Amino acid sequence: MTPSAPSLPFRDKGLANTVAAETQMSFIDGAKGVLEYVGIDIDSLARQSTFEETVFLLWNRRLPKAAELQAFCASVRSEYEVDARVHDIVRALPRSTPPMHALRTLVSCLAHFDREADENSPEANRRKALRLLAKTPTLIAMFDRHRKGKPFIAPDRSIGIAENFLWMLNGARPTEAMSRALDICLVLHADHGLNASTFAARVTVATLSDMYSAITTAVGTLKGPLHGGANQEVMEMLLEIGDISKVDDYIMGKLSRKELVMGFGHRVYKAYDPRAGFLKTFAKQVATDTGNITLYDMSRRIEEIMAREVSAKGIYPNVDFYSATTYYSLGLDLDLFTCIFAMSRVGGWAGHCIEQLEANRLIRPQADYVGPHGVKYVAIAQR
């Protein structure tokens, strides 16, 4: 007899209608296109804050006083270096490995050199959050130098995360405008509710595993082209199109074949993604300053076509659309784009791990079994 399937409380494929956690970090109103970190709108933060201050805000749910920010920045900078044995691990990775694979491995490796890796007290988790925030840019820059056959550049404790990253990556001092442009992108990407990678991090930490495992899970989840991997694909698309005269045919062709246009659409926003709104103006400035205005013009044309064809479905540019042109204009390699997203989102992921553990409950949804029942086991020789 076939047993009847257990009745499930709620079927919600993709969990779009499920609230699985409480957060005080970011608020999203997808219908109105609003994003706030701890109640402060993203536009104000992008204009006036820095990445370090934004992370302090997310982790402490208030803005720091000047002395607190100074102390926080000093603590982050004191953690920039990674253990010498991590240098050897970076060198052992194949140069052809995509950087997001390298980052996933290297974030995981940090746990081996942290005596507090399995210490789950709130204080230890804050210290680990700080280490992950500080060391992730170092790992990305080191791997990029390794794959290009260049020597590692030691981090500079006298400068902030964005500037230090560009320094370690290029071995040349970035201009103030370049550092600030990257810093703004880091502010915009730092947190975004219960997105897929943040959810993955919370699921991992909710088992009382450890923060390194949670951030490793999150890096792997961010990598997918439906999530953080889209920024690289946007840039590949722009380069493939190559010229503004080819944009219309390319995009109309994609839509007629029912293919996705990367950098558009969002699970939560059915209005303009406010991060994309800010980045659009910003990308234009950076593209003008760096001689890449044709890429920006192509992006604008893609947006016009998408607005005409699919905005009725609530599909607008998302954060990845204009961040792609911005990163490209800053001279960053395409396959580093998602790593830079990760470098910022570590702030959000770690904050969510801390928050999850403040009122933890194992996250364990149910699956609706749709397979057969009562199937006889057939011995291997009879199959």
Task: Compute the least distance from the CB of residue 260 to ligand CMC, in Å.
Answer: 4
Following DSSP, what letter does each residue of 72-107 receive, concatenated? HHHHHHTT----HHHHHHHHHS-TTS-HHHHHHHHH
**Residue 43 a catalytic site member:** no
Only segment of 39-47, 124-132, 161-169, 310-318 that touches ligand CMC (CB under 6 A):
310-318
Of 131, 146, 147, 266, the one binding ligand CMC (CB under 6 A) is 266
Binding span for ligand CMC by CB under 6 A among 23-31, 101-109, 255-263, 343-351: 255-263
Q: Which residue is nearest to ligand CMC (CB)?
A: 265
- Of 107-115, 208-216, 240-248, 256-264, the window that binds ligand CMC (rule: CB under 6 A) is 256-264
The minimum distance between CB 293 and ligand CMC, in angstroms, equals 23
CA 126 to chain centre: 20
- CA 132 to each of CA 37, 70, 351: distance values in angstroms, whole numbers, following the listed order: 20, 19, 11
Among 87, 101, 180, 267, binds ligand CMC (CB under 6 A): 267
Interface residue with ligand CMC among 33, 137, 174, 263 (CB under 6 A) is: 263
Annotated active-site residue in 320, 335, 352, 368: 320
Identified binder of ligand CMC from the candidate list 318, 323, 344, 356, rule CB under 6 A: 318
CB neighbourhood size of 301 (10 A): 17
CB-based contact 28:192 (threshold 8 Å): yes
Residue among 45, 67, 47 at smallest CA distance from 57: 45
Instruction: Give the Cα separation of 249 and 238 in Å (integer).
Output: 13
Q: Which stretch binds ligand CMC (CB under 6 A): 92-100, 164-172, 265-273, 360-368?
A: 265-273
Instruction: Please answer whether residues 104 and 219 qualify as being in contact, where contact means their C-beta atoms are separated by less than 8 angstroms.
Output: yes
φ, ψ at 40 (rounded to 5°): -100, 130
Does residue number 275 form part of the binding site for ligand CMC (CB under 6 A)? no
* Residue 243 a catalytic site member: no
Residue 71 identity (one-letter amino acid)? A
- With CB under 6 A as the contact rule, the residue among 33, 174, 193, 265 that binds ligand CMC is 265
Stretch that binds ligand CMC, among 22-30, 264-272, 286-294, 327-335 (CB under 6 A): 264-272
Compare residues 126 and 227 and give the one whose CB is closer to ligand CMC: 227
Q: Are 193 and 352 in contact (CB under 8 A)?
A: no
- Which of positions 54-83 make contact with ligand CMC (CB under 6 A)? none
181 vs 285: CA distance, rounded Å: 10
Write the burial class of residue 140 (CB in 10 Å: 0-12 exposed, 13-18 middle, 19+ buried). buried
Q: Which two tokens stand for residue 339?
A: 């790593």
Nearby residues of 212 by Cβ (< 8 Å), 6 or more positions away: 107, 108, 110, 111, 114, 117, 128, 132
3-state helix, strand, coil in the chain (%, to 5): 60, 5, 35
Q: Which of residues 194-253 bind ligand CMC (CB under 6 A)?
A: 195, 226-228, 230
Structure tokens at 128: 């680990």
Parallel, antiparallel, or unpaired: how do β-strands 34-37 and 26-29 relate? antiparallel
Between 135 and 174, how does the x/- string for binding to ligand CMC read (CB under 6 A)? ----------------------------------------
Nearer to ligand CMC, 90 or 214 (CB): 214
Q: Which of 146, 189, 192, 266 is catalytic?
A: 266
Query: For residues 181 and 319, which CB has a smaller minimum distance to ligand CMC in the complex?
Result: 319
Please say which residue, 73 or 100, places its beta carbon nearer to ligand CMC.
100
Spatial separation of the C-alpha atoms in residues 338 and 5, rounded to whole Å = 41
Q: Which of 58, 107, 287, 315 binds ligand CMC (CB under 6 A)?
A: 315
> CA–CA separation, 350 vs 133, rounded Å?
8
Options 114, 303, 320, 355; binder of ligand CMC; rule CB under 6 A? 320
Residues comprising the chain, all counted = 383
Q: What is the closest distance, in whole angstroms, from the C-beta atom of residue 262 to ligand CMC in the complex?
A: 5
- Total residues contacting ligand CMC (rule CB under 6 A)? 20
Distance separating alpha carbons of residues 107 and 262, to the nearest angstrom = 27
Give catalytic residue positions. Answer: 266, 320
Instruction: Summarize as ranges the residues that interact with ligand CMC (CB under 6 A).
Output: 192, 195, 226-228, 230, 260-267, 310, 313, 315, 318-320
